[in-house]
Amino acid sequence: MSKVYKYKSLPSDFPFSIKFADMEPYYCMDQTFHWHNYLEISYVKQGKGRYYIENKTYDIEEGDIIVINNIEPHYMEVLPPHHMLQPVIMFDPKLVWSEEGQLFDSQYLKPFFNRSSNFSNKIDSRTDIGKKIFRLLIEIEEEYTREPVGYKLMIKAKLLHIITYLIRHFQDSDKQLESITEKSRKLKKLEAVFEHIHQNFASKITLEELASKAYMSSNYFCSFFKDSTGLTPIEYINKIRVSKALEFLKSTSRGIFEISLECGFTNLANFNKMFKRYTGMTPSMVRKI
């Protein structure tokens, strides 16, 4: 099964679900960018972390909200010292609009697809709009877990309320023009690249072989990858290797040098340097936690 494209089957009569995520420090989503077939609104109830969404990076903490559509590659890291509690609302676009429905209802998808120039995937907890939306998300969570009479209608009403706030908050006249078709085409090229890195992180990976997966020249591929993710291919590979090493350090008793080799590093000095760069700690420090 693909580590990159995540498919979730939502109920056909009410395509909505909430995942109650409880993640320990340094948790990283399969150490790779991914995307999915649903729209997503998540909110932090405890802890802090960092989201990588396309070529943007967002630090998040308690009260912050993240909005992601189904064609945005992303992943998230949990930062120490606390666990992160982050419910994730997942819903199909047809919950708020279908082609057979009224044209007016399609306006509710604008914050997800027809982005304003000032759009941010993160809604800051300290803003008035962030506080209003967070309260509505908590109310949706209560409806979902308690299931009182009419809870599905109430969830949809509150979800539309949230999206209306997003429309107002990000409204301006300068719209991004990149089409959904063009973004989907880019994702198909990135999917093969991400899959190859994920499956071969322990081996030597060259720019040439990654470029060939995307059917590009090496120079163009480097620019394409950086524009799409905010990282160079080498930076991304090193982040994945460090994330995997962190997992091995915490879950096995194997030696640090052995782990560095298993994760694709050719010498211990470079491993220690990259590990400190991306975690703020040395491998030995992790073993003492």
Identify the CATH number of the domain in which residue 209 sits: 1.10.10.60
- The pLDDT tens digits of the residues spanning 13-30 come to 999 999 999 999 888 876
The first and second tokens of residue 130, run together, are 């962030």
Residues 70 and 198 in one domain: no
- The pLDDT tens digits of the residues spanning 66-88 come to 999 888 889 899 998 899 999 99
Taking the C-alpha atoms of residue 53 and residue 75, their distance in angstroms, rounded to an integer, is: 7
Residues 158 and 195 in one domain: no
Is residue 269 in some structural domain? yes
pLDDT score of 227 more than 80: yes
Residues 193 and 123 in one domain: no
- Report the number of distinct structural domains present in the chain: 2
Full domain range(s) for residue 154: 14-169
- Which residue bears the tokens 């080498």? 234
> What is the DSSP track for 231-246?
S-HHHHHHHHHHHHHH
Taking the C-alpha atoms of residue 289 and residue 284, their distance in angstroms, rounded to an integer, is: 9
Residues 156 and 237 in one domain: no
Is residue 214 in some structural domain? yes
Identify the CATH number of the domain in which residue 139 sits: 2.60.120.810
The first and second tokens of residue 288, run together, are 């003492």
Domain boundary among 169, 194, 223: 169
Question: Among the listed ranges 1-5, 81-85, 118-122, which one has the minimum average pLDDT value?
Answer: 1-5
Is residue 174 in some structural domain? no
